[in-house]
Amino acid sequence: MTLSEIDKKILHRLQTNLPLTHRPFLELAKELGLDEDLIIERIKSMIENKYVRRIAPIINTQAIGNSATLAAMQVSEDKIEEVSQIINGYSGVSHNYLRKGRNKDIPLNIWFTMSAPSKEQLDENIKEIEERTGLKVRMLPTTKKFKIGVKFKIN
């Protein structure tokens, strides 16, 4: 399946809030000049074909009392697999990547985000990762947010 122009139109709109009304998709239909049944059918199809993961609340973990951080480690090539699996084992880890500097070499190469129900729990998890891997974890929590609005340009 490839996305049609109608799909793209729906997808673009769906990246901002769904109306909080009795018939939200009817409202979208009016906004976009489309049919309510068609919108629901296309969304289902885009989910089935994995273009869309879900329509759901995007949770602000900190606002509900959780503590979160970006973390980085310097891991040698031969230990990358093992260390990434240890990190993935924590349910609070939402992103975990191997990253490489393109214009400059930097030693930190494993980058992950972790949240936990409290700052204490977060610190404890990080300390545990350090113990289990024998490597230092650099915590880089957000000190100021300028933008958090993942909205992609649909070409």
Min separation Cβ 37 and another protein, Å: 8
Q: 3-class DSSP state for residue 126?
A: helix
Min separation Cβ 118 and another protein, Å: 13
In the bound state with another protein, the residue whose beta carbon lies nearer, of 33 and 58, is 58
Q: 3-class DSSP state for residue 63?
A: coil
CA distance 43 to 6: 11
Min separation Cβ 121 and another protein, Å: 14
In the bound state with another protein, the residue whose beta carbon lies nearer, of 2 and 33, is 2
CA distance 118 to 150: 25
Using CB under 8 A, pick the residue from 51, 79, 133, 135 that binds another protein: 51
Q: With binding defined as CB under 8 A, does residue 119 bind another protein?
A: no
**73, containing H or E segment:** strand 67-73
